[in-house]
Amino acid sequence: MSQSPTAAADSATTGTLILNYPLFSADECQRIVDQTAHLPAREGAVYGPAGGVVDPRQYAARETFLDPSLDPRVAWVLDALRVALASAARAFHARPFQLIEAPRVLRYEVGGQFGWHRDASVAHAARRRVGGTVQLSAPDAYAGGYLVLDDADPDPRRLMADPDHRRPMSRHQGDVILFAATTLHAVTPVTAGVRRALVFWGY
């Protein structure tokens, strides 16, 4: 496990802060996948004022929650994510982030995707301050499935009409990508293979 960031925060044209550096080794990524394979999984839901709704047109992935009360072996992963959140707080010059919500391993199969959204856009998640994604899959294990962030225009209609405003993030296995929870972002459809990612949030 990497103990210190190798890349600093990056200011985009809108002032979006992004932190990207190696957090886990390839072996550690596989360990996370193996240790969560037996835990319950559910279809990902899109949340709004009425609660969660499964809508694969907006979000198509299977979610597994990392809960040490279900399996204490995953506690080391949460410890590593707390270290990542501490690095983000320093890089973003923010007060410390807290890991309150259970992290999730997402499995995107062919056709899996997540349309444009913000992690802090609904009431139950309004207190999220930073979002994080760890790439668990090797980049040659899947095609498509790009994590893309809006760092050029806050208007999602323009983003959909002009793909040049999409900024693909690192696909390196074990990399963590942290960004403000209000940042508009998406995962493009997976066209081959399976993409696995670990997502978490700082409050």
* CA pseudo-torsion sign 47, 51, 56, 57: negative
Residue 177 included in any domain:
yes
pLDDT of residue 158: 52
Residue 49 included in any domain:
no
Residue 50 included in any domain:
no
Residue 107: in which H helix or E strand, if any?
Answer: strand 104-108
Residue 3 included in any domain:
no
CA dihedral 138, 144, 150, 151 (to 10 degrees): 60
Q: What is the CATH number of the domain that holds 194?
A: 2.60.120.620
**From CA 82, how far away is CA 99, in angstroms rounded?**
7
Q: Which residue has the tokens 């978490």?
A: 200
**From CA 202, how far away is CA 180, in angstroms rounded?**
9
pLDDT of residue 159: 47
Three-state DSSP class for residue 31 = helix
Per-residue pLDDT of the chain (203 residues), as tens digits, is: 655 553 334 433 334 678 999 999 999 999 999 999 999 999 998 876 666 788 889 999 999 999 999 999 999 999 999 999 999 999 999 999 999 999 999 999 999 999 989 998 777 678 999 999 999 999 999 999 999 987 645 554 554 455 455 667 899 999 999 999 998 899 999 999 999 999 999 99
Asked if residue 181 lies in contact with residue 133, where contact means CB atoms within 8 angstroms, the answer is no
Asked if residue 144 lies in contact with residue 188, where contact means CB atoms within 8 angstroms, the answer is yes
**From CA 33, how far away is CA 98, in angstroms rounded?**
24
> Residue 199 pairs with which residues in a beta bridge?
104, 133
Quote the number of domains for the chain.
Answer: 1
pLDDT of residue 168: 75
Predicted confidence (pLDDT) per residue in 52-85, tens digit = 788 889 999 999 999 999 999 999 999 999 999 9
Residue 67 included in any domain:
yes
The range of the structural domain enclosing residue 19 comes to: 10-39+62-202
